[in-house]
Amino acid sequence: MKKVYSIDGTPIATWNFGSGPPLLLVHGTMADHTVWIAMQSELKRHYSVWVMDRRGRGHSGDSSFYALINEAEDIAAVVDAIGGKVNVLGHSFGGLCALEAALLNANVGRLIIYEVPVPWGGYPWSDEFDSRMQSFIDAGEMEQALYMFAHDIVKTPSRELSTTQSIPTQPIKIAAVHTIPRESRLVDRYRLDSDRLGKLKIPVLLIVGSKSSSHWHISSKTLQKALPDSRISILHGQHHLAIQTAPDLLVEEIVRFLSAPFVEIKR
């Protein structure tokens, strides 16, 4: 484990596996770096894979002030610590953080986003849901809060929820439940700025599961229109948690995208 210090002094824990072009994996809500275990063994055959714990969970630190810029600066700091051009993959809220980091740091080479949550896609967060979620957390009912978020907000099918509940990383998800409201509040406030996103000239792959809820598809299509060099890839038969339930399929998409020749549009 290596600690990288973000611009506000928060320590961010990172790990490195394999060799080759660097690829940084940024996890979403309800997770830490171990969520990538199912994909790591295959990815490290192709890349120098870096994983990190986002602030507020795992081995990373936190701060009293929290904003999306903090998350973006954390990723940008890790990219700088790795050195050179670094490809970045972000899942869910981690994808939003990675997108913001790419706007900050010119050393992000290519960007892959798996189903980023944004309000214009119909992200179903509300003040009423926020209150119920917080009440469960305050009462220490973390499993109930986690289930409610995964089922009602992420729209994970009940059958898939049963599968992921048996995965060894489930206790880690429960440990990260306290971060759900603050991240979801940021998503709820996020606004599309086409002019700003239009300045991101790097290749971007937007992956979405064919069976995922409609708001994931809407958000991907909206981002695809705003990002100059982007395309959408549909992962057949998958939902939001394909990084755990279909890692082989996802790795194929990643390798195909990162292996394809491209000419970077100058910033």
The pLDDT of residue 264 is above 70: no
How many Å apart are CA 96 and CA 113, to the nearest integer?
8
pLDDT digits (tens, 9 = 90+) for 31-66: 899 999 999 989 999 999 999 999 999 999 999 999
Q: Higher pLDDT residue, 106 or 171?
A: 106
Lowest mean pLDDT among 5-19, 42-56, 120-134, 184-198: 120-134
DSSP readout, 136-195?
HHHTT-HHHHHHHIIIIIS---HHHHHHHHTSTTHHHHHHTGGGHHHHHHHHHH----HH
pLDDT tens string 98-111: 999 999 999 999 99
Q: Which fold has domain 2-121+193-259?
A: Rossmann fold (3.40.50)
Residues 158 and 151: beta-carbon distance below 8 Å: yes
Q: What is the pLDDT of residue 110?
A: 98
Separation CA 265–CA 267 (nearest Å): 6
pLDDT at 267: 43
Does residue 135 register a pLDDT over 50?
A: yes
Q: What proportion of the chain, given as a percentage, has pLDDT over 70? A: 93
Domain spans of the chain?
A: 2-121+193-259
Question: Cβ(25)–Cβ(47) under 8 Å?
Answer: no
With bands split at pLDDT 50, 70 and 90, how would you rate the model's confidence at 261? Answer: confident
pTM score? 0.89
What is the pLDDT at residue 263? 59
